[in-house]
Amino acid sequence: MRLTDKVGIITGGGGGFGKALALKFAHEGADVVVADIDLAAAEQVAAEVRKTGKKALVTETDVTDETSVQEMVAAALQEFGQVDILVNNAGISRSCAIQDLSLANWEKTIAVNLTGTYLCCKAVIEAMISRNYGKIINISSISGHTARAVGVDYSASKTGVLGITRTLALQVAKDGINVNAVAPGPILTPLFEKNFTQEVVDRLRASIPFRRQGKPEDVANLCAFLASDEAGWITGEVIAINGGAFMG
């Protein structure tokens, strides 16, 4: 098992990606903090993690609120004494033309996807520096690489995540911390099905050479590798996982 004796925080841990990440990390030997604004969903995922024999701590966390994020990290440190891994997975998405995108919705997307990533990185970094060890994995998107049929707010937020990833990786490499991003293509999750029309879904699926959408488990497998010491010499990278939809 690649993550034995490690502790990982997963934001958005109650969702499709989050569940797959939490279970994969647990099967690889890690205890998990399942952080989500939806407490009931987080509790359900935590219950499944505990069935693997690993510990799971649930925190009701709003990644757009600095106090909430700080409380999440404090709870993890109190429970486990360390935080080895942070996966910034919490996110929202939508598909609409810019003329239909309100300022309020723009600001909400930026707050969750971009500011949330910043706040969570900031909150864990001192604990990781103190141990000269840490793995931060930011969930970006194929939309951070290239134009896609999504809202400009989503694309802008996920492109911004790449900037955070590269700059932070440079800053903390001397402290033994790896910072990388994962850029998935279309992944079949409840959030995806809720926020995209069938026309957009069909268009995105047609762009994938494998002719199938990815699964949350595909992303979880990659994140487990990046969270492990096997990836110890990888930092500041953006790793595409999209079935060949973008090969730039």
Among 176, 182, 147, 175, residue whose Cα is nearest residue 161: 182
Q: Which residue has the tokens 């935590």?
A: 46
Q: Is the separation of the CB atoms in 59 and 38 below 8 Å?
A: no
pTM score, two decimals? Answer: 0.94
> Between these two residues, 194 and 77, which has the higher pLDDT value?
77
Average pLDDT, the chain: 93
Q: Which residues does 121 contact at the CB level (< 8 Å), separation at least 6? A: 86, 88, 136, 138, 164, 168, 179
Q: Is the separation of the CB atoms in 83 and 4 below 8 Å?
A: no
Average pLDDT, integer, range 151-157: 93
The active-site residue, picked from 57, 154, 218, 235, is 154
Domain ranges in the chain are 7-241
User: Do you know the residue count of the chain?
Assistant: 248
Name the token pair of 202.
Answer: 């069909």
CB burial readout 154-175, b (16+ within 10 A) else e: bbbbbebbbebbbebbeebeee
Q: Is the separation of the CB atoms in 42 and 34 below 8 Å?
A: yes
d(CA 178, CA 61) in angstroms, rounded, equals: 24
**For residue 195, is pLDDT > 70?**
no
**For residue 203, is pLDDT > 80?**
no
**What CATH architecture is 7-241?**
3-Layer(aba) Sandwich (3.40)
Active site residue 154: yes
Categorize the per-residue pLDDT at 190 as very low, low, confident or very high, splitting at 50, 70 and 90. low
Name the percent of the chain lying above pLDDT 70: 95
Categorize the per-residue pLDDT at 165 as very low, low, confident or very high, splitting at 50, 70 and 90. very high
- pLDDT tens figures, 128-149: 999 999 999 999 999 888 777 6
- pLDDT tens figures, 5-44: 999 999 999 998 999 999 999 999 999 999 999 999 999 9
